[in-house]
Amino acid sequence: MQPKRVLGVLGGMGPLATVAFMRQLVQSTPAQCDQEHVAVVVSSIPQVPDRTQAFRGEGVSPLPALQASAHRLTQAGAGLIVMPCNTAHLWFDDLQATLPCPMLHLVDAGLHAALTASPLAPEPLRLGLLATDATLASGLYVNRAALKAPGRVSWVMPTATEMLQWVMPGIEAVKCGQLLEARDQLGRAAHALQMRGAQRLMLGCTEIPLALDEATCGIPLIDPTVELACQAVAWARSNTP
Amino acid sequence: MQPKRVLGVLGGMGPLATVAFMRQLVQSTPAQCDQEHVAVVVSSIPQVPDRTQAFRGEGVSPLPALQASAHRLTQAGAGLIVMPCNTAHLWFDDLQATLPCPMLHLVDAGLHAALTASPLAPEPLRLGLLATDATLASGLYVNRAALKAPGRVSWVMPTATEMLQWVMPGIEAVKCGQLLEARDQLGRAAHALQMRGAQRLMLGCTEIPLALDEATCGIPLIDPTVELACQAVAWARSNTP
């Protein structure tokens, strides 16, 4: 009766995004009863130091807290770890290097979803990117795309003013539960990217899909956590030992 | 940066109810940023054998699987365990007896919420009860109320036909994600209890609040998981070691 494979979710960044990811796991699983769902252990430890502040050099590194949280998961039996927080992926390689089990990369999942959804065209996909200051400034998405899908993406990003006025306040509004305010701010940023030619929007921060939807934006949205959930469920349901 | 107190959620029964409970934890926490939220580890292992079948003598006991799932939580550092599944509370005492940390009782939380919401009256509160077959037949709520709040509750329960036609199919519909069908079936059962004099409805199965709401039912609903979340958050935020 013990599950063969237990998925580990390194969460709490933020807590609502973790809840949304767990819902996504359930919705991505074809199941007729409880027992057909996948086994998951979650470490939602919101005390991980702020990732954006650490990247800016204004706060301590989140790496030790990420390692401690991942350790809870491996102690609880996790055989694969996913981390539904984009900015935390700046420490992905350092974290993976210290773990006894593999991790799936959220940005790779997002790029896969964006490029699968778009037919191969001679022109690169004009992809808008909404993300935290640290995710943008670190080149997390743009560098990974250049490495994994060279020449297939042409990025459209927010200006510094748009980041300060709309994107970062919108993300912080989600983190304190003010979803209507967040929708207004993030919607303005989405509109600006669309006006500059974005054909799709990559939601490169797990808080953003909690406030934005396609009906509001009028442009296809790519939520990397949806693809990450599908990949994680496929792993958990596989019988390969 | 390690959190002082880590809450353990023994979940997966069913997985959507666990997601709803985690959302409830976030919503019950006054927080302005990630770091102010409570630290939670979750073991969502849906392979726990069916609780209702076990109670009926038609399946194996879920106790070993509950103990294994609880063990994952204590390994991951949990200092208090809550279990957002009513029927599993039939094994609460046996489970608690083997654990190194305390648990909070979901039914006690539900009774506390129902009786706090109702002013002390000379007449007992006429409380409708929607729950699984096993929860009803075991007397989980009625016996606990007789023990903890003698004379304060007069129960109104579904008939066997209502259980077979509406309540159990409605709960199963939630477990496979058919929320509209579930709302229709559970709504009929709720209406029947109201017609027989129920003043409030105790939602004694964690799947039921996922499909029913007060606007649909036209009668105050008591969701024990809301009170359980509040008590768990209060514990996690307390500084007492």
Q: φ and ψ at B71, to 5 degrees?
A: -65, -40
Q: What is the amino acid identity at position B46?
A: P
Q: What is the pLDDT of residue B175?
A: 82
| Predicted confidence (pLDDT) at residue B122 exceeds the cutoff of 90 | no
Q: What is the pLDDT of residue B240?
A: 58
Interface test with B, best of A5, A44, A181 (most B CBs within 10 A): A44
Q: What single string gives the DSSP state of each residue in A100-165? A: SS-B--HHHHHHHHHHHHS---SSPEEEEEE--HHHHHTTHHHHHHHHHSTTSEEEE---HHHIII
Q: What is the pLDDT of residue B140?
A: 94
Looking up tokens 């023990």 gives: B147
Q: Are B49 and A172 a contacting pair at CB < 8 A?
A: no
Q: What is the pLDDT of residue A1?
A: 54
**Tokens matching residue A51:** 């990732």
| Band of pLDDT at residue A34, cut at 50, 70 and 90 | confident
What is the ipTM score, two decimals? 0.83
**Contact with chain A for residue B184, Cβ under 8 A:** no
pLDDT in tens, B196-210: 999 999 999 999 999
Q: What is the mean pLDDT of chain B?
A: 93
pLDDT in tens, B42-100: 999 999 999 989 998 999 999 999 999 999 999 999 999 999 999 999 999 999 999 99
Interface test with B, best of A16, A25, A41 (most B CBs within 10 A): A41
Residue B117's CB is within 10 A of a number of other CB atoms, namely: 12
| Predicted confidence (pLDDT) at residue A191 exceeds the cutoff of 80 | yes
* CB-nearest partner of A42 from B34, B42, B177: B42
* CB-nearest partner of B34 from A31, A32, A46: A46
**Contact with chain B for residue A45, Cβ under 8 A:** yes
From chain B, pick out residues whose CB is under 8 angstroms from the CB of A68. Answer: 2
pLDDT in tens, B104-120: 999 999 999 999 876 66
Counting one residue from chain A and one from chain B, the pairs whose CB atoms sit within 8 A come to 158
Is the C-alpha dihedral spanning A7, A8, A12, A14 positive or negative?
A: negative
**Contact with chain B for residue A58, Cβ under 8 A:** no
| Band of pLDDT at residue A236, cut at 50, 70 and 90 | very high
**Span A38-55, average pLDDT:** 94
| Band of pLDDT at residue B235, cut at 50, 70 and 90 | very high
| Band of pLDDT at residue A32, cut at 50, 70 and 90 | confident
Q: B14 near A34, Cβ under 8 Å?
A: yes
